[in-house]
Amino acid sequence: MMWSPTFCERVLRLSDFLRFQCSVKPREGELAIIATAARRIVRTSGRRMWCWRARPGRAKRRSPRCVIGRRGRSRADERAIIAYVRQLLRANRVDQTVFDALKERYGVPWVVELTGLIGHYGK
């Protein structure tokens, strides 16, 4: 991006929006980022993102799959976010029931911003 300052500026503005201004709350966003990182470890070298995002104690003792795999103990909304991330990254589509659950709970703009967050951190 250093060869295109305009492009770099716009990417930074998007990052700023996703981190501080979008309707996805920080806890929800972190869960989506960690689920994205867990999926990237399968495909590429997402471990760096995982270690950077996870708490130091978690990063030392547990893999991302372990943390995301504990979803049985998580709340229904957290499970829906994790399912959304997994389906989106695996198949580039999401089951209607998962989409509807998130849409009903948070609204369409929130789902659009969550999708943007996943895409931003999944690149």
Query: Mind listing the pLDDT tens digit for each residue in 11-47?
Result: 999 999 998 999 999 999 999 998 988 876 655 554 5
To the nearest whole number, what is the mean pLDDT of the chain?
81
Asked whether 37 and 53 are in contact (CB, 8 A), the reply is yes
Pick from 5, 22, 9, 29: nearest CA to 121: 29
Measured from the Cβ of residue 35, the count of other Cβ atoms closer than 10 Å reads 26
Per-domain residue ranges of the chain: 24-121
Residue 61: pLDDT band (50, 70, 90) is very low
Q: Give pLDDT tens digits for 74-85.
A: 688 899 999 999
